[in-house]
Amino acid sequence: MLNIVLHEPEIPANTGNIGRTCVATNTRLHLIEPLGFRLDEKNLKRAGMDYWGSLDVTTYIDYADFLERNPGAKIYMATTKAPKVYTEVSYEPDCYIMFGKESAGIPEEILVQHQEDCVRIPMVGDIRSLNLSNSVSIVLYEALRQNGFAGMNLEGHLHRLHWGDSGKLL
């Protein structure tokens, strides 16, 4: 099972959307405090819809607590400061993909400890970053693709449409 880690997220709607994506992909969500919101906040629940109750979520008091409770975890760091693109690494089925807070990203003192595992999403021009929930989706789905979308529904089915004698759609 893959793991998404949010380091000090600030915007409840982003975290709610990420939580919904985690439920849809059977991915664990890890939240490193301080959070810019309360977990019972209405905006968080609204963005996560009725999926929040099904979310496998763990909170940590700080980054040291996260490391202590997840010893030996393979952690990829999503950052605009990375030298390689997120598609250039092979994501293990149980790896952790960390994203920083919306206003500042992952602190550099953490990034320098994981330089080889830093990945970026390509962008043009002077754009500082993408929306956090969009960034999580982009990288998470690449990791899922690399792992064969294990346990996920890979095809949908259209309902057959029938035309009546009058030429109207039934």
> What is the per-residue pLDDT across 99-131, written as a single tens digit (0 to 9) for each?
999 999 999 999 999 999 999 999 998 888 899
CA dist., res. 36 & res. 131, Å (int) = 16
User: What are the boundaries of each domain within the chain?
Assistant: 3-146
Flag whether 106 is marked binding. no
Give yes or no for residue 170 having a pLDDT over 70.
no
Instruction: Map residue 28 onto helix, strand or coil.
Output: strand
18 marked as part of a ligand binding site = no
Angle at 131 between CA 1 and CA 136, to 5 degrees: 10
Residue 110 marked as a ligand binder: no
pLDDT digits (tens, 9 = 90+) for 55-82: 999 999 999 999 999 999 999 999 999 9
Mean pLDDT of the chain: 91
Q: Crossing angle of helices 132-146/12-25, nearest 10°?
A: 20
The arrangement of secondary structure in 3-146, i.e. its CATH architecture, is 3-Layer(aba) Sandwich (3.40)
Sign of CA dihedral 29, 135, 102, 79: positive
- Residue that wins the pLDDT comparison between 150 and 138: 138
- Average of per-residue pLDDT across 136-147: 98
Residue 2: pLDDT above 90? yes
